[in-house]
Every structure is written in structure tokens, then in C-alpha cells.
Amino acid sequence: MNYISIKNNQTILLKDIPESNYESFYDMIIELVQGHIARHCVNYFGYRVGNNVKLICGIADDSTHEILVSTCLVNKAHELESFSAQLLCFEKFEREIHENFGINFIDHPWLKPVRYAFNRDDKSQTIANYPFFSIDSEELHEVGVGPIHAGIIEPGHFRFICNGEQILHLEIQLGYQHRGIEQLFIEKKKLAQRATLAEDIAGDTVVGHGTTFAHVWESLSGFEATNDIEFSRTLAQELERIAIHVSDMSGACTDIAYQLGNVVFGRLRTPIINFLQEWTGNRLAKGLIRPGRNKFPFTLALGERLSQVLDIFEPEFNEMAEKLFKLPSVLSRFEHTGIVSNADAISIGAVGMTARMTNLNRDIRSSHPYSMYQELNHLPVLKRHGDVYSRIQIRREEIAQSLAYIRKLISDIPLQASTVPELKTPAPDSFCLSLVEGWRGEICHCALTDKKGELMVYKIKDPSFHNWLALALSVRNNEISDFPICNKSFNFSYSGHDL
Amino acid sequence: MLDNLKIVFHQGKQYIPNVRKAVVPGIFRGRPVISLQKVNEAELIDMCPTDAILGNPVRIDLGKCTFCGECAMRFPEKITFTKDYKLATNVPERLIITEGTDQPVEIDPELVRNEIHRVLGRSMKLRQISAGGDNSCEMELNAANNVQFDMSRFGIDFVASPRHADGIVITGPITKNMAEAVQICYDATPEPKIIVLVGTDAISGGLFKDSQAIDRNFLDKYPVDLYIPGNPAHPLTIVNGLLDLTRKLK
């Protein structure tokens, strides 16, 4: 087997990644992933080397806690056999490689554009003429929604094929949010700019993406984060999880017209994000995570304050959640709605909450632990039904879990390190892969440096990238009126996908 | 039924009685104040990730600032961020804070179009367009309408169609892929209509200003009625900005 096993956040020399020709690369990846539930692809991307394209693939092995990295050099002139024909979880990755470099995958089921990136290979393709699946039928009709949606949310286009009120098929077209963020990581040379960019990848996962970037940068620079830095990051991540989960529960209530739940959960987010502001000066913790330093040390006084906030939050949240899960009118909308089966979740390579709600155990906090998750001994929350109910239940239980983690964390607040090692420049000719479990799921950032130690490639993968397909599958055979609740129960990121 | 009443009772009164005078908790980074202290100006200018700091005299452009607070940490004797959240204005020059001054950022009532007070002074419906926004300003716009900030008590609401709207609220730097949709949405809004930009990315492009995936031509074509800075903008900044624009100041 021609790959190298690395740990999460490990930096290796680029030349140490074994290279194969496409044929053996293909056979190896198929053999690694097919039939192995504990293995899934965390990132598969390409970058230009002269006229050729170098492909890098990272397969995470949850049982051995390792990531298997391999590479292969290909050329646009040659058509390639597609992984997706056998393993659907590569579908989006191969489409992205096709869009960016013009490489053709011959037996790919739908080699359509991903996000109409500004530096795409074929500029004649524009977002206005996306090749939707279409129907020729007297009985069926199409419904188009977007790009601008009815509420205050990000843009995306949804095209439904319906039989009366029933959805037969949903196709999701994204790309409207494309800001060229990966290229900006290379162009903007200051660390402060890059850290700010990382926080802007998805404004609802500021801590998640910020931390992933910090891990990549620190690993490349050989920096060992002190206890107080790790503490701040772990704490902020769990606070972010609570804040977004509770506001998604509010959103779910809105979509089934349950006013009390909408209002109460909606306002319960405020004490959590207001605490983030008390600590970091920003309600979403923008400006908190910076590589190599603890910008806003967590003091004992803050710990006491947070403890007070949680003492009020917890009973209020529990009271509302208990009521919500007891109401027949709520349950009738949640149960058996928007189901994704375990087999489908495995086949599309679902990660994070989307995987866990179908009893697929994927959680980086336990499978590739980082920061303080090893000490917290994290056990993922799993559900079996894969419906809206499971997704809302996971949120409720993860909030309870995060509250327990936070209480445990603030019972032992580390002192600020008296001396912090200096942050050096990144190592030259290196590769680093970092995984973080954001509230949506696994975030993966990869960085490659050139011979001067400058960033050469920065590749971001938000969990939404492959999870969006789960939404499309979940609404099949559901009534179109259930689409909003399905969508909200997943709450995937548009900007995280479009980059 | 009784449980419902119990929940309502336990929640108590959540709304902020006076959104004009509410005090934000903690160390909120609002309007900066720059002292006349001499510091290494070149270093100060260079450290800003978004080139929001200008020299001679030292100024901070709130339209470019991401409120990360790095400058205030490095030069505490020069720059302090106050908790003043009233940052919105209709004059871009007023977004620039100059050293040695401690003046609130305000709307220039002279420059507010007459029909805004006349037509939108008591009720205003807005259409929101996220054009490359990262969902942070979007979340805060939603929060402006939750039970705490409760902007709808002033007759300001977000609606689902531009046909029902009196103006558009743009977040994000306006991506190429959204440029056409922004234009169509604006065209579909009946006159008189306003344009509001929320967040650093929308006002100046922020870190995305030089990205090739951005197309800000739309903003060159039409006058902007209100700039609401922040990264993301605080709900109180949003509510106060919209009120200042539409209500005649007494």
C-alpha cells in the first residue's frame, strides 16, 4: 500500500507522501474505503504542478486514529476512471477537481459544476445556466426556489421535481457565495489576515474554522500550544455548539409554526453569545482564535460568570425542550420526516451530526482527538432513525453534553502560561492536515508550503461540502411543505461550501 | 396549557425596554477612540489586517475595520474601543474616526432623502440579500427581530419578496455569482427604495476587496442610504441605525 499514515495535525515533508500512478492510486483508494465503515475520505483535491495536476487524498481511519495520505500526478489530456462510480462519497470531490482543472472522469454519474469558482477551468460555464436534471412529463412539475430565499439566510438554488405535493427529486445548486477564499489565503501574507479569513469561512462556525487554521499553522511552525490556549479553544468550541444548536432548535420550531419554542429557544442563544462577547468582545467570538497565542485569557472571574450564566440557561432550556418533545403536534411533524438511511449516509460519506443521526459514528472529537477532548473522554451522541426528530434530539443531547464539558473545564481553569514559545515561520516543502469537529461536523484544512516556507496551497473542506447531498436525499417522497423543516434540521453552510 | 404558562412565567420579560440607551455587557468593541499620543505610526498602520488604519493624522475607517482589536492590544495608549454601538451613518466620511476626537457617529439628517422620513418614517419593510455574507451578519439581522431586540415594535420588518419591500439590505462583499441576483432584486423593489449595507464586507469588501470572485459594480450605480459597520454588526447597531435613518431626530 502506497500511502503514509499520519496523525491529526501532523506536519510531514511533501516528498514523504508516496506517489503512485493513477491506476494503482485508484485501486488503493477503492480498496481502502470500500466496505470499511471506519474509513472515509476527509479531503481529496488537486493543485497545479506545471502542466500537470497533483492529486492528494486523505482517508481518515477512525479505528486506528490515523489519516492515510497518498498522491498521484495526472494530466488533463487523459481521462480518468472515476471513484464515484463505485464510491459515491467521492462525487463532490471529483466534481471539484473537474471544475478547477478540467480533468474528465469518464464514468462519473453527474460531472456538474460545484461552485463556479472564479479560477475554474471552463469559463464558458456560468452560474445562470447550470445543467439541471429536467423532466418531460404531463403529470410532474418543477419548483425553483432561490438563489435569494424568503428569510434572512444565505443564497442557494433548489430545484424540485414534484408529483403534486410530493417531492420526487431535489437538486441543489450552490456557488453564489463563492468569494475565492482559498486563493486569498495564499495572496494575503499577514498572519492576522489569514486568521481573520479563517473566521470568515463560515460566520456560524467562527471558532471551528479559526481553530482548524490555528492548528495547521502551529503544526507547520512546530509550535506546541500551551494548556491555556487549548483550554480557550475547547471551551469556545463547546459554547459555539450550544449557541448554534439552540438557535437551530428555534428555527425548527419556526418551520412547524410552534411559536413558543421558536421564541424561547431563539432568545436562549443570547446569554451564550453575550457571554462570548463578555469574554472576547464579539458575540460570535470573532477575533478570539489566533495561532500561537491566547488572545483573551480565560480568568477565574470569567469562569464564575459563565457558571452563573449556565445555571440560569440550563433549567430554562430543559423546561422548553421537555415541553417540545412531549407535544403530539410537534412530534407528528418531526417523526418520520426527512429520513436519511444509514446505508445512504455511508454511501455519500456523511460526517458529523448528519452521520451520527443515522447511527454512523463519526466524530473527530473521539476518533482523532485534539485540544482537550482526549481528557474529556468524549463519547459521540448517536441516533438511529435519521429523521428530523433524530436531528433535533441530537442537538438537545449535545447541548446537555457540552454543558457538562464546560462545567468540567471551568472547574479547573489553567493559569496563563508565563512564557509562550515564539511562533516561527512555517517549515518549507511541507504538508499538514488538520481535523476539527465543528458543530456541523468534521472540518478539514490542508496546507502545502513551498521551498521558502510560504503557503502554496490552502484547501478548506467544510462538513457541508459532502453533507448537502443528505438534504437532497432526505426530502424524497416527502411533501414539499416539509422542505423547510428538513433544511433547517440540517442547517448546512452555504459560504462554507462555496468558499 | 399550564406548562405553557409556566414557561412564559419563567422566561419573564425579555425585551430591551430602551434600545436607544441599552448597555452592552462585557468588553464589546464598538466605536474606537484614538488619542493624540505619539506611537510608531508605520507599525500601527502595517499591523491592521484590512488596511483600516490611515496615517497623518491617525484615523480608523470603520467601513474597513473588522473590530479584531489587535491595534488596541498592541497600542493601548493610542487606541481604545468604547462600548458605543451606535456606528451607523449615511455619510461614508463619518465612518472615519480621527485621532483626538471623541464624537459619536451620526446620521446627517440634511442628506436623508425627504421621502424616507415621509414614507418610511413609521413602517418600513426590508428585503435582505446575502451576497457572499458569511452568515454572521445574517444571524445578527435575525437577532434584531428576536424577542429581545424586537425591531418589529418600530414597524421595521424583513419581508419575503422585493415586491413588498421598501428597500434592500445587503450583507457580504457581493460575489460575481450573486451580482445579477442583487440587481434583479433591486429592480423588483418599488420606489421609493433604500439601500442599506450591513457589515464590513458589504461596506468596503473587507478582506475580499481584491478577490477576483467579487463584483461590486452594483454599488457604483446607486446611492447607499445607510452604512452599518461591524463584523458582524451588533443588533443594537442595526436597530439604532435604521431608526436614526427613518425617524426625524428631535
Contacts of A155 in chain B (CB under 8 A): 129-131, 178, 181
Q: What is the pLDDT of residue B51?
A: 92
Q: What is the pLDDT of residue A424?
A: 87
Work out the pLDDT band at B3, boundaries 50, 70, 90. Answer: confident
Instruction: From A410, A203, A365, A216, select the one nearest A287 (Cα to Cα).
Output: A203
B227: pLDDT strictly greater than 60 = yes
For the stretch B5-18, pLDDT in tens is 988 888 888 888 89
For the stretch A6-50, pLDDT in tens is 999 999 999 999 999 999 999 999 999 998 889 999 999 999 998
**Cis before residue B192, ω within 30 degrees of 0?**
yes
State mean pLDDT over B113-130. 89
| Cell triple for A125 | 460555464
Q: What is the pLDDT of residue B242?
A: 93
Whether B142 and chain A come into contact, CB under 8 Å, resolves to yes
B248: pLDDT strictly greater than 80 = no
Q: How far is A344 from chain B (nearest CA, A)?
A: 29
Q: For chain A, what percent of residues have pLDDT higher than 90?
A: 84
Whether B68 and chain A come into contact, CB under 8 Å, resolves to yes
Average pLDDT, chain A: 92
Work out the pLDDT band at A134, boundaries 50, 70, 90. Answer: confident
* Beta-carbon separation of A148 and B185 below 8 A: yes
For the stretch A266-313, pLDDT in tens is 999 999 999 999 999 999 999 999 999 988 999 999 999 999 999 999
Region of residue B132 (left: phi > 0; alpha: psi -120 to 50; beta: else): left
Write out residues 129-188 of A within 8 Å (CB-CB) of B.
Answer: 147-148, 150-155, 175-181, 183-184, 187-188
B227 exposure class (CB count in 10 Å sphere: 0-12, 13-18, 19+): buried
* Beta-carbon separation of B129 and A148 below 8 A: yes
Contacts of A185 in chain B (CB under 8 A): none
ipTM: 0.91
B250: pLDDT strictly greater than 60 = no
Contacts of B134 in chain A (CB under 8 A): 200-203, 495
Write out residues 208-227 of B within 8 Å (CB-CB) of A.
Answer: 208, 210-214
State mean pLDDT over B223-236. 93
Q: How far is B95 from chain A (nearest CA, A)?
A: 20
Q: How far is A274 from chain B (nearest CA, A)?
A: 7
DSSP E strands in chain B: the ranges are 32-34, 53-54, 59-61, 79-81, 96-98, 124-130, 156-158, 167-171, 194-198, 226-228
Instruction: Say which of B27, B47, B201 has its CB closest to residue A281.
Output: B27
Contacts of B69 in chain A (CB under 8 A): 281, 287
Q: How far is B89 from chain A (nearest CA, A)?
A: 21
Region of residue B195 (left: phi > 0; alpha: psi -120 to 50; beta: else): beta
**Cis before residue A147, ω within 30 degrees of 0?**
yes
Whether B36 and chain A come into contact, CB under 8 Å, resolves to no
State mean pLDDT over B75-83. 92
Work out the pLDDT band at A474, boundaries 50, 70, 90. Answer: very high
For the stretch A338-354, pLDDT in tens is 999 999 999 999 999 99
Work out the pLDDT band at B173, boundaries 50, 70, 90. Answer: very high
Q: Which residues pair with A160 in a beta bridge?
A: A143, A170
| Cell triple for A92 | 463532490
* Beta-carbon separation of B207 and A493 below 8 A: no
Whether B76 and chain A come into contact, CB under 8 Å, resolves to no
Write out residues 146-205 of B within 8 Å (CB-CB) of A.
Answer: 146-148, 158, 160-161, 172-173, 175-178, 180-181, 185, 201
A415: pLDDT strictly greater than 90 = no
Q: Return the CA Rg of chain B.
A: 19
Q: What is the pLDDT of residue A269?
A: 94
Whether A312 and chain B come into contact, CB under 8 Å, resolves to no
B91 exposure class (CB count in 10 Å sphere: 0-12, 13-18, 19+): middle
Domains present along chain A, CATH in parentheses: 4-114 (3.30.460.80), 181-498 (1.10.645.10)
A151: pLDDT strictly greater than 90 = no
Q: What is the pLDDT of residue B249?
A: 57
Q: How far apart are CA B220 and CA A60, in angstroms?
A: 48
Q: How far is A188 from chain B (nearest CA, A)?
A: 9
Q: What is the pLDDT of residue B1?
A: 78
Average pLDDT, chain B: 91
Work out the pLDDT band at B52, boundaries 50, 70, 90. Answer: very high
Instruction: Characterize the bridge pairing of strands A66-75 and A141-145.
Output: unpaired
For the stretch A200-236, pLDDT in tens is 999 999 999 999 999 999 999 999 888 999 999 999 9
- Write a three-state SS string for chain A: CCCEEECCCEEEEHHHCCEECHHHHHHHHHHHHCCCCCEEEEEEEEEEECCEEEEEEEEEECCCCEEEEEEEEEECCCCECCCCCCCHHHHHHHHHHHHHHCCCECCCCCCCCCCCCCCCCCCCCCHHHCCCCCCCCCCCEEEEECCCCCCCCCCCEEEEEEECCEEEEEEEECCCCCCCHHHHHHHCCCHHHHHHHHHHCCCCCHHHHHHHHHHHHHHHCCCCCCHHHHHHHHHHHHHHHHHHHHHHHHHHHHHCCCHHHHHHHHHHHHHHHHHHHHHHCCCCCCCCEECCEECCCCCHHHHHHHHHHHHHHHHHHHHHHHHHCCCHHHHHHHCCCCCCCHHHHHHHCCCHHHHHCCCCCCCHHHHCCCCCHHHHCCCCCCCCCCCHHHHHHHHHHHHHHHHHHHHHHHCCCCCCCCCCCCCCCCCCCEEEEEEEECCCCEEEEEEEECCCCCEEEEEEECCHHHHHHHHHHHCCCCEHHHHHHHHHHHCCCHHHHHC
Contacts of B205 in chain A (CB under 8 A): none
Closest-CA residue of B relative to A197 is B207
pTM of the model: 0.94
Instruction: From B137, B118, B116, select the one nearest B128 (Cα to Cα).
Output: B137
